[in-house]
Amino acid sequence: MSKRVLVTGGAGFIGSHVADRFLAEGFDVEIVDDLSTGNRKNVPEGAKLHELGVGSAEAARIVETGSFDNVIHLAAQIDVRKSVADPIFDARTNIVGTLTILEAVKRAGSKARVVFTSTGGAIYGDFNTPPNAETFPKDPESPYAISKLAAEYYLAYYGRLHGIEHVALRFGNVYGPRQDPHGEAGVVAIFCSRILSGKPLTIFGDGLQTRDYVYVGDVARAVFLAATSAIPPAERVDARAFNVGTGVGTSVVDLARMLQDAAGSSQEIDFAPKRAGEQQESFLNVGKAAEKLRWKPEVTLPQGLANTFKWAAAASVLQS
Ligand SMILES: NC(=O)c1ccc[n+]([C@@H]2O[C@H](COP(=O)([O-])OP(=O)(O)OC[C@H]3O[C@@H](n4cnc5c(N)ncnc54)[C@H](O)[C@@H]3O)[C@@H](O)[C@H]2O)c1
């Protein structure tokens, strides 16, 4: 009999690549997504979509009765600015939504391994000198980062007290095909869209701020390995947490230039005032994922940017 996975947020950017990966590995794939930022078009053929909110009783019933081997929990409020404007909505989706899933897994007998998707870009804050390792102190700078870290603590608690197998993956800045250029997140998607519409690439601040850009195909492979590999015992909150990035910080100016090269574009770059609360340096130590999950990023930034721009160009032709 095929193994079964539930992917929450599977109609979104990363979730749809995760669903692709599990289908390719022979899993039966079901998706819970309310399509708030996701799109039905992203749901791969062969996956079954339940159009539901993660905090709903119906979604909980699916988790409880679906005999899943894995629950990959990606559905979330992902917009940092929205979390600042409406922290209660953020907490409802990201904390209560996660708790609803964990309670349902517990009621189902704690058999399914839960892979939670957290953020390595936001929970470590500005007080550490990167590359940030999993055990570094956490100083989340936004309600979004607080809700992700809170969910990680619940995960660790459910692991210790209720025996729920879990992994928390702390992603860097994920980019690649299907990322929505209309949100606040996703500078690569935004820059691709600006090149294609002949607009300048706007950089906030001096452009020297660094981020750890990791390709979505590599991230989907990390999720699959986290779901299927041997994992450390449930101890402190960091025990089953893994950074997923490249270990390299790239400045926004360098990113913009690399994307221009990949796109064969000479679109102008302009500068706007620095945004309040923006971290200056952020990149991840990914040694633990390499050692314990046998995961390493494979797609270089120039390759990944070329793939992403090619996809964005094809998508914009289809839309026009
Ligand atoms: N993109 C990144 O760089 C990045 C970095 C760190 C962590 N993450 C995490 O990865 C996950 C996926 O992010 P993404 O970039 O693919 O974003 P996305 O917006 O494309 O995907 C989120 C999906 O969740 C769905 N969703 C949102 N609220 C829901 C709810 N209440 N009920 C059901 N479905 C709901 C959306 O419709 C969407 O399909 C999120 O948990 C995010 O916090 C992303």
19 CB near ligand 1 (under 6 Å): no
Quick check: 317 pLDDT over 80? no
89 pLDDT tier (thresholds 50, 70, 90)? very high
Please name the residue whose Cα sits nearest to atom 9 of ligand 1: 117
**Rounded Cα distance, 44 and 118, in Å:** 23
Residue 171: its H or E element? strand 166-171
Q: 166 is written with which tokens?
A: 């879990």
The answer to whether domain 4-173+213-244 has CATH 3.20.20.80 is no
Mean pLDDT of 14-23: 98
- Same topology, domains 4-173+213-244 and 180-212+247-319? Answer is no
| The pLDDT value given to residue 320 | 63
| The pLDDT value given to residue 212 | 97
Please name the residue whose Cα sits nearest to atom 18 of ligand 1: 12
120 CB near ligand 1 (under 6 Å): no
| The pLDDT value given to residue 1 | 83
Residue extents of the structural domains in the chain: 4-173+213-244, 180-212+247-319
Query: Residue 287: how many CB atoms within 10 A of its CB?
Result: 15
Pairing mode of beta strands 210-211, 250-251: antiparallel
Catalytic center residues: 144
Provide the CA 113 distance to its chain's centre, in angstroms. 18
In contact, 178 and 13? CB cutoff 8 Å: yes
Residue 65: its H or E element? helix 57-65
Q: 95 is written with which tokens?
A: 């904390």
Distance, CA 77 to ligand 1 centroid (Å)? 6
Query: What's the pLDDT tens digit per position in 28-79?
Result: 999 999 999 999 999 999 999 999 999 999 999 999 999 999 999 999 999 9
Q: DSSP label at 132?
A: B
In contact, 284 and 297? CB cutoff 8 Å: no
Burial 194-223 (b: 16+ CB within 10 A, else e): bbbeeeebebeeebebbbbbbbbbbbbbbb
Residue of 234, 241, 105 lying closest to 161 (CA atoms): 234
Fold that domain 180-212+247-319 belongs to in CATH: UDP-galactose 4-epimerase; domain 1 (3.90.25)
Across the chain, mean pLDDT equals 95
| The pLDDT value given to residue 183 | 67
